[in-house]
């Protein structure tokens, strides 16, 4: 068994879509980043990579590479999932939290969970995604950015 923790944060800016868990969420601002800046999937990938001491997403998908510019983080998550499986492990469960003052994320949680489960090839019952605010405090409370945290449990697959 291996456990990993991931964290990511991105700044909210004008003229960018807000993508969380592969879902385009209507909002006046989106997240700034080299890829689609999906802060949730970035935290999840870092938790998965960290569980096996494989570094972080910056190591595997550097923001200096044009091949990752604007890429869907679901494609990157698929690559991380393949790496986990090829290492002999499977995802037992994921538990993630999105921290954002606005917009309300709850209407999109089921679709987000489905995207993650489908991309990793696991049952949706193994994927927990929650959302919370910081009650107007800090950068997320001031609507300057959105952060996400994730923890995962990986099991070694018997061969």
138 is in an annotated binding site: no
Alpha carbon of 90 to those of 28, 38, 56, 131, 149: distances in Å? Answer: 38, 23, 18, 25, 20
27 is in an annotated binding site: no
139 is in an annotated binding site: yes
Alpha carbon of 49 to those of 29, 82, 117: distances in Å? Answer: 29, 11, 17
119 is in an annotated binding site: no
61 is in an annotated binding site: no
Which residues fall within 8 angstroms of residue 15, CB to CB, at 6 or more apart? Answer: 30
8 is in an annotated binding site: yes
126 is in an annotated binding site: no
97 is in an annotated binding site: no
Q: How far apart are CA 85 and CA 51, in angstroms?
A: 13
10 is in an annotated binding site: yes
35 is in an annotated binding site: yes
39 is in an annotated binding site: no
Q: How far apart are CA 94 and CA 84, in angstroms?
A: 14
Binding-site residues = 8-10, 34-35, 42, 56-58, 132-135, 139, 142
Binding-site residues for a divalent metal cation = 8, 10, 42
């Amino acid at each position: 068994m291996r456990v990993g923790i991931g964290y990511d944060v991105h700044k909210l800016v004008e003229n960018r879509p807000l993508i969380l868990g592969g879902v385009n969420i209507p909002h006046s601002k989106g997240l700034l980043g080299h890829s689609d800046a999906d802060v949730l999937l970035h935290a999840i990938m870092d938790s998965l990579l960290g569980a096996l001491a494989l570094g972080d997403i910056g190591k595997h998908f550097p923001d200096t590479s044009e091949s990752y510019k604007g890429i869907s983080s679901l494609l990157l998550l698929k690559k991380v999932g393949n790496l986990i499986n090829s290492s002999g492990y499977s995802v037992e469960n994921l538990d993630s939290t999105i921290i954002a003052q606005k917009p309300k994320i709850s209407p999109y949680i089921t679709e987000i969970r489905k995207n993650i489960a489908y991309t990793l090839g696991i049952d949706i019952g193994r994927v927990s995604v929650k959302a919370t605010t910081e009650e107007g405090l800090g950068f997320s409370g001031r609507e300057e950015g959105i952060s996400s945290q994730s923890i995962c449990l990986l099991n070694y697959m018997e061969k």
